[in-house]
Homo-oligomer: A and B are copies of this chain.
Amino acid sequence: MMIPLEAGSPRALYEQIYEYLKKDIKKGVLAEGSRLPSTRVLAESLKVSRSTTQMAYDQLVAEGYVEAVPHKGYYVLRLEALIEAEPELSGPFIREREEGEGKAEIDFSPRGIDLTHFPYNAWRKVTKDTLADNKKEMFLTGSPQGEPALRDAIRGYLYSARGVNCQAEQIIIGAGSEYLLMLLNQILGPGRRIAMESPTYKQAYRVLESLGCDMVPIEMDEGGMDVRFLEESAADVAYVMPSHQYPTGIVMPILRRQELLRWAGRKDGRFLIEDDYDSEFRYKGKPIPALQGLDGAGKVIYMGTFSKSIAPAIRVGYMVLPKPLLEIYRRRLGFYASTVSRIDQNIIYQFLTGGYYERHLNRMRAIYKSKHDLLLSKLKQLEDDFEVCGEYAGLHVLLTSKRGCSERWMIEQAWKKGVRVYGLSSCFIHKHQDKQPSTVLLGYANLSEDQIEKGIELLGQAWRE
């Protein structure tokens, strides 16, 4: 790789390297999945010190352009990050967004949600009501765990919609699931060995790893986390998504759930973290109750969020602590103030108890089901070459090449037609990964029905060539 470097430039050498690589990634010259030369090789070829290339790579990793895979090297990441992360205004770490560049015409992002049908009027109304009458108390410090009334409303919703059994006092409301994981890490005590399915929700993995947890990936079978491997891993906490595993879409069968609960019950201090991130959306059969509802021994930490069901920027999540952990929290961490403003809590409280939330969920479920059904019917035309799974729930499906085409090829071919699909491999946390998967994720929440139709049309063309 030749990168033209200016010795006399006001920009540091590492910045020049970083800028050059970034541009190539954004242009697609370096495609998703490409492996970059090692920092040593690049340093030698450019005649700079290795710390210079290291800094450039670190910056690319920090900004989500590139991923460091231990023992393997640096790989160009999916371009999704470029769209969802906001650009900086100024300074050496600028991430400019040129108009049109790096933008797909049709983006099957698995992280999008439909905001065209957001109940803006209802939101404005509950906000207005919350701020009426100069309520002083809205601006005063509230309860550390969150407003009692909102916690009670969440408890009621969780009980009827998810089969979660808890009291309002077990609920902690926080500014997003990442903050709640930070708090939970303190409750569990630092340095815990935590098992996660692989592939999994990488963001939770990153948070827990950055907090110093000893993360172990566990193989999955068609029922989800394999309890034999979990047992062998010597982990004492397992993070699972039983209702709809991300990204595989696997629904954990009842027998596996019971096995997990038995595993947790066999030792003091073992816990299950149940991430129930998108269970609101299910398009077939009865809703699947939460694992927490089966737990009679105080072993399940239930985590929920309004990011999918209301909106990501709301920044409100909650967790339900089993009693033994609640006691630890109160004793050692009860002094932490709530991270969610009292006004926002009241807005959500009114949204829930005023019937808006239920109406909104019902409406969105119908809209998403219609998009889902359209997507599946369109995918039929690819069924000779591709297999669909993870359907009938959530906001994305998986598509696997029956001919063993690589994920990278699928992404690159789609990209040439202006369609963005997402590789499964970015969700893996295995240290060693033998071969590139042949699977991509197709999210449909943020697309119109026309876009879905056209997108699949284009994918058909892209992958036939």
Interface residue ranges, A against B (CB under 8 Å):
58-59, 61-64, 84-91, 93, 115-116, 118, 120, 123-124, 127-128, 131, 134, 136, 138-144, 147-148, 151-152, 167-169, 175-176, 178-179, 182, 186, 190, 203, 206-207, 210-212, 310-316, 330-344
Contacts and interface: CB of A to CB of B under 8 A. Distances in A.
A115 B136 contact: yes
A141 B313 contact: yes
Contact of A313 (B89, B140, B335): B140
Nearest to A183: B182
20 contacts: A59-B330, A62-B330, A84-B140, A84-B141, A85-B144, A89-B148, A89-B169, A115-B136, A127-B131, A139-B313, A139-B314, A140-B311, A142-B313, A175-B315, A178-B336, A179-B339, A186-B210, A313-B341, A315-B339, A315-B341
A78 to B, nearest CB: 14
A179 B186 contact: no
Contacts of A334: 62-64
A353 to B, nearest CB: 15
Contacts of A144: 85
A450 to B, nearest CB: 18
B338 A315 contact: yes
A347 to B, nearest CB: 9
A373 to B, nearest CB: 24
Contacts of A344: 341, 344
Contacts of A58: 331
A323 B168 CA distance: 43
Contacts of A332: 62, 210
Contacts of A90: 167-169
Given A138-B313, A148-B89, A186-B210, A331 B59 contact: yes
A124 to B, nearest CB: 5
B143 A86 contact: yes
A200 to B, nearest CB: 15
Given A136-B118, A168-B90, A340 B311 contact: no
